[in-house]
């Protein structure tokens, strides 16, 4: 249905590219651009932890959730995000892991939401869009079903569309803590976003309002109403709440966390060391008396080396040689538990929880079975996880090849890690 392509553009704020999609013929007449306003300070939510649109809910910034919904909606052509000039770093960090984020255009916002929207509309006007959906970054629970309901109204020719829900509470007007009157709620609706328009209509209305010095509009439909445009109501979504106060963010975090798919990653590792004359080998942290030793810069523990690589692989952190180069004399004869502990630390620093560690040892001798439990307990101790999450298996090489000739011992390992925030 949609073939996405890139088109270079002049960025207003940051380097960027426009996201352009070729619509199927039935939708070709309409190009729906998106403006997401994210330049507010979020004072009502408290500024101690930064503007609310960059606070984390369910492991990602609020704005990342919002943006993802639009970037994955097949009818969105151009996406403009309006940011505060002080928030460039916060924005880039927040969207770094979103697929398609490199195709987002940014503009710089103003002191009021109204000014920020106008900046976004002006940016959109330079791109190919016939219609626009204007959305609050602070409404991360927007969904495709609501976008489709609104788009259907635009397809039908409506100039201005407002998603809204009827007000169910009894409404009071109060002054100084005293109720003055009960306000009839019949016909009253709570306005949501994305408020959606034919682009030339709302752009002109916004420009006219600004020229007239009218700066107190809190939403875009008010401006359309002021300009004499008929605004059609569509049913909003009860989930599409705006995060306004601190409690909203806490609730949103709990809700997102419950809904977020776990980010489960697996990594594998392999290691081999040559045998040499000696009196024993260290495998998975356990010394086993034997008629051979293992040659290596450290203690040559192939099991823990393979597992170290497997863990590093779950967060793209390179391999054991990157962190503990064999050329570095400080690792001479080092116990390999140091390497594994460091890999576990790196995983945790990236937001990972180690779920499982599995090592297969491939050795003609010594016999591993009698030591397997001690090995599992050693691994569990180093990784600080329970023993039932650690596994050690062993096999001979059926007397074939270098392992079969007792010239070396090898290990392969698999690690499973769940990441909360996405590894960085
Ligand atoms: N100057 C502004 C003010 C608001 N917004 C955006 O408009 C949306 C809705 O505004 P609101 O919830 O009022 O956000 P804030 O202005 O940030 O909040 P507060 O009034 O509590 O400071 C938010 O996504 C906000 O970032 C904006 O882009 N530019
Ligand atoms: C646009 C809006 O989200 C619709 O409900 C709302 O008007 C923003 O107003 P606020 O007063 O800045 O919260």
Judge whether 22 and 1 are in contact, CB under 8 Å.
Answer: no
User: How confident is the model over 42-53, as a mean pLDDT?
Assistant: 90
Q: Which helix (H) or strand (E) holds 348?
A: helix 337-349
Q: Where are the domains of the chain?
A: 3-259, 263-419
Judge whether 248 and 242 are in contact, CB under 8 Å.
Answer: yes
pTM exceeds 0.90, yes or no:
no
Does the beta carbon of 242 lie inside 6 Å of ligand 2? yes
Judge whether 18 and 104 are in contact, CB under 8 Å.
Answer: no
Residue 48 — very low, low, confident or very high, per pLDDT cuts 50/70/90?
Answer: confident
The domain made up of 3-259 is a member of CATH 1.10.10.10: no
Task: Evaluate if residue 45 carries a pLDDT over 70.
Answer: yes
C-alpha span between 345 and 212 (Å, rounded)? 59
Which of the pair, 6 or 342, is modelled with greater confidence? 342
The per-residue pLDDT of the chain, averaged, comes to 90
Indicate the SS3 state at residue 290: coil
CA of residue 136 to ligand 2 center, whole Å? 8
Q: Same CATH fold, 263-419 and 3-259?
A: no
Q: What angle do CA 141, 238, 149 make, to 5 degrees?
A: 80
Q: Indicate which atom in ligand 1 lies nearest the CA of residue 83.
A: 28
- CATH superfamily, domain at 263-419: 2-C-methyl-D-erythritol 2,4-cyclodiphosphate synthase (3.30.1330.50)
What is the token pair recorded at 321?
């040689």
From 242, 243, 248, the mutation candidate for ligand 2 (largest count of ligand atoms within 8 A of CB) is: 242
By CB neighbour count within 10 A (0-12 exposed, 13-18 middle, 19+ buried), where does 180 fall?
Answer: exposed
3-state secondary structure 11-79: CCCCCCEEEEEECCHHHCCCCEEEEEEECCCCHHHCCCCCCHHHCEECCEEHHHHHHHHHHCCCCEEEE
Q: Which residues are annotated as a binding site for a divalent metal cation?
A: 271, 273, 305
Indicate the SS3 state at residue 266: strand
What percentage of residues in the chain have a pLDDT greater than 90? 78
Q: What angle do CA 255, 260, 262 make, to 5 degrees?
A: 140
Question: ipTM, 2 decimals?
Answer: 0.96
């Amino acid at each position: 249905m949609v073939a996405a392509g890139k088109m270079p553009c002049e960025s207003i704020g940051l380097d960027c590219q426009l996201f352009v999609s070729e619509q199927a013929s039935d939708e070709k007449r309409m190009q729906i651009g998106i403006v997401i306003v994210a330049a507010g300070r979020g004072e009502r939510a408290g500024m101690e932890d930064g503007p609310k649109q960059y606070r984390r809910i369910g492991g990602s910034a609020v704005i990342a959730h919002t943006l993802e919904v639009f970037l994955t909606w097949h009818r969105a052509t151009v996406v403009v995000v309006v940011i505060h000039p002080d928030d460039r770093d916060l924005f880039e960090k927040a969207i770094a892991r979103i697929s398609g984020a490199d195709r987002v255009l940014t503009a710089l916002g103003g002191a009021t939401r109204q000014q920020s929207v106008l900046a976004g509309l002006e940016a959109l006007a330079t791109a190919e869009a016939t219609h626009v959906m204007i959305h609050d970054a602070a409404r991360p629970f927007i969904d495709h079903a609501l976008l489709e309901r609104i788009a259907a109204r635009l397809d039908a020719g409506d100039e201005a569309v407002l998603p809204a829900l009827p007000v169910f509470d009894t409404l009071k007007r109060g002054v100084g803590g005293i109720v003055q009157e009960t306000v009839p709620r019949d016909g009253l609706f709570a306005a949501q976003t994305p408020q959606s328009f034919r682009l030339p209509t709302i752009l002109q209305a916004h420009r006219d309002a600004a020229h007239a010095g009218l700066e107190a509009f809190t939403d875009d439909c008010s401006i359309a109403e002021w300009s004499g445009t008929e605004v059609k109501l569509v049913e909003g979504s009860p989930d599409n709440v705006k995060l306004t106060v601190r409690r909203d963010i806490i609730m949103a975090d709990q809700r997102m966390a419950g809904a977020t798919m776990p980010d489960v990653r697996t990594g594998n590792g392999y290691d081999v060391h040559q045998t040499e004359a000696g009196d024993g080998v260290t495998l998975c942290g356990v010394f086993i008396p034997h008629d051979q030793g293992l040659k290596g810069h450290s203690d040559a523990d192939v099991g823990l080396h393979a597992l170290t690589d497997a863990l590093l692989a779950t967060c793209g952190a390179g391999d054991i040689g990157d962190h503990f180069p064999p050329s570095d004399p400080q690792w001479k004869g080092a116990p390999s538990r140091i390497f594994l502990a460091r890999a576990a630390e790196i995983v945790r620093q990236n937001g990972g929880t180690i779920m499982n560690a599995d090592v297969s040892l491939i050795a003609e001798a010594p016999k591993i079975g009698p030591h397997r439990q001690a090995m599992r307990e050693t691994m569990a101790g180093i990784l600080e996880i329970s023993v039932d999450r650690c596994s050690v298996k062993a096999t001979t090489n059926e007397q074939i090849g270098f392992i079969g000739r007792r010239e070396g011992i090898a290990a392969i390992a698999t690690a499973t890690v769940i990441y909360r925030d996405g590894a960085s």
